Amino acid sequence: MRATLICAMALVVVAARPGAQPVRNVLFLVSDDLKASVLGCYGDPVCKTPHIDKLAREGMVFERAYCQGTSCAPSRTSFMHGRYQGKGKINLGEHFRGSGMYSARVGKIYHMRVPGDIIAGTNGADIASSWTERFNSPGLEAHTPGDYACLNLNIFTKELEGRQSTRMPHRMFVSVSYEGDGSDQPDHKTAGKTIELLRKHKDERFFLAAGFVRPHYPMVQPRQYFDRYPWEKMTLPEAVPDDLDDIPKPGIARSTSKSTGIDRYPDNQKRMWAAYYASVTFMDEQVGRIMAELDRLGLRESTAVVFTSDHGYHLGEHGFWQKSNLHEEVLRVPLIISAPGMKPGRTKALAELVDLFPTLADLAGLGIPGGVQGRSLVPVLEDAGATVRDGALSLHAGHCLRTADWAYIRHRDRSEELYDMRTDPKQFTNLAGQPGHAADLGRLRAALDARLGEL
């Protein structure tokens, strides 16, 4: 292993910033299936996320950050290797570990099947060489005793038998509300172990990655979190007549209200929103526990903190559910970076999750390995008005190029979607087939081809 890491370190070809004071530690916090738009700091007036919002006030909020993969496995492989697709010769954890830093994972960082690997307490697709130590956070998930719902089937029961779980077709619409303090839940365990590791390794340099599984289905948390979001008060996404008529067939999500059956139960769509919000708030409290300990230990002034998610999520927008498509609700992710010596703020600079590897390496003074395709966001951390790229690229059976003003999607069959994000941020009108946009299409086609030619 040592020889492997030394060999990997030899791949470094980009030096650290000259004269910069390196950050001593990195705390990397990753939520699962979290759409940016539900966080208070991203404008949601309903969801209660006080701890993430506090981090946002103390760091740089990237309002235009985008994932490269549109589901867990490709996205996490991408940001952990700093590459658009597939693995590189060195990953983020290896890079820090190879520099002599303590590197640890708690919970889900690389892909784990949720709920499968969580119930089993197994490592999923984790790469052992990334970590000095690694820790899983098991839980009962849908089998947690309590009030179970499978909302697209309109099933409500306390029975443990017959619940939708691992690899079952309706598991995406499951929630469980139960009596408890949450300490039995995977994310609570992840926060607890992370706090333990902070205490144990506070006197050495560390790269500590904590991965939360909520709000990924099944949305399981104590009853008091559901109580904060009465389903009757939930507002469903705006609907437009014939909304999908101008979207080519490859652009229609596989999981829709009609295909899943939840179109028959509008109240259950509201319950989905309530359960998702409840999961986000439960996860937010775990972030708060970790951040409070970081402050208590006096580590905040020496530690860069990152909060993000692997991709966004649809909760009925356009009649779409879940992920794995190229529209804004899936591609846009929260990204907050709080780094010592950097002023807090908000930026509209475009960012990609592949930029995390070079950014964290840059901040820590480690240099950026060859083969990493992202770009350091440190110039934006230093100046919220700076930019490091003109567009963000995402991949899923085709490609999306997101610029400051446009979202251009080209599917595998060459069919297209074009949205003016200045006037149509919810993407209701596909302009690709409308007159007057030939020049815009030509420019964006060329820009996408140029980006793809760089890969």
- One DSSP character per residue, 345-390 reads EEEEEEEEGGGHHHHHHHHTT--EETT--S---HHHHH-TT--S-S
The architecture in CATH of the region 397-455 reads 2-Layer Sandwich (3.30)
| 7 compared with 427, residue with greater pLDDT | 427
pLDDT above 90 (res 280): yes
Residue 10's pLDDT is 40
* Separation in Å, CA 162 to CA 25, 150, 165, 222, 352: 46, 11, 9, 21, 41
CA atoms within 13 A of residue 123's CA, in its CB half-sphere:
11
- Region 286-314: mean pLDDT is 98
> Considering only CA atoms, which of 265, 223, 258 is closest in space to residue 243?
258
pLDDT score recorded for residue 19: 55
Strands (DSSP E) found in 165-286: 174-178, 206-211, 219-222
Element holding 12 (H helix, E strand): strand 12-14
Task: Enter the CATH code of domain 2-9+24-381.
Answer: 3.40.720.10
How do 147-150 and 368-369 pair as beta strands? unpaired
Burial (CB count within 10 angstroms: exposed 0-12, middle 13-18, buried 19+), residue 454: exposed
Given a cut of 80, whether residue 205 has pLDDT beyond it is yes
* pLDDT tens track for 173-192: 999 999 999 999 999 999 99
- As a whole number of angstroms, the distance between CA 138 and CA 140 comes to 7
Please indicate whether residue 174 or residue 14 has the higher confidence score (pLDDT).
174
Name which of 32, 28, 106, 115 is nearest 282 in CA terms. 32
pLDDT at 124: 98
Percent of the chain having pLDDT more than 70? 96
Q: What is the pLDDT of residue 1?
A: 41
Mean pLDDT, residues 233-248 taken together:
96
- What pLDDT, on the 0 to 100 scale, is given for residue 14? 61
Q: What is the pLDDT of residue 2?
A: 38
Query: pLDDT tens for residues 136-153?
Result: 999 999 999 999 999 999
How sure is the predictor about 286, in pLDDT bands with cuts at 50, 70 and 90?
very high
> Are 70 and 394 contacting, i.e. CB atoms less than 8 angstroms apart?
yes
pLDDT reported for residue 4: 42
In this prediction, residue 21 carries a pLDDT of 75
- Give the tens place of pLDDT for each residue, 110-142: 999 999 999 999 999 999 999 999 999 999 999
The pLDDT value given to residue 76: 98
- CA-CA distance, 415 to 421, in Å (whole number)? 19
- DSSP lists the bridge partners of residue 25 as 303
What average pLDDT does the segment 398-425 reach? Answer: 98
Structure tokens at 157: 């029961």
Domain residue ranges in the chain: 2-9+24-381, 397-455
Q: Average model confidence (pLDDT) for the chain?
A: 95
Rounded distance between C-alpha atoms, residue 375 and residue 83, angstroms: 10
Checking 260-266 for CB contacts under 8 A at 24+ apart, the result is: 260/152, 260/170, 260/172, 260/173, 260/321, 261/152, 261/153, 262/151, 262/152, 262/173, 262/316, 262/321, 263/319, 264/154, 265/151, 265/152, 265/154, 266/236
User: Quick one: pLDDT at residue 9?
Assistant: 43
pLDDT above 50 for 7? no
Residues whose CB falls within 8 Å of the CB of residue 130, separated by 6 or more in sequence, listed in order: 80, 91, 92, 93, 94, 97, 103, 105, 109, 110
What is residue 433's predicted lDDT score, i.e. its pLDDT? 85
Other Cβ atoms within 10 Å of 230 Cβ, number: 10
Q: How far apart are CA 120 and CA 143, in angstroms?
A: 12
- 54, pLDDT greater than 80: yes
pLDDT(366) > 70? yes
* pLDDT at position 283: 99
Q: What is the mean pLDDT of residues 61-89?
A: 97
pLDDT category at 3 given cuts 50, 70, 90 is very low
On the question of pLDDT at 17 being above 80, the answer is no
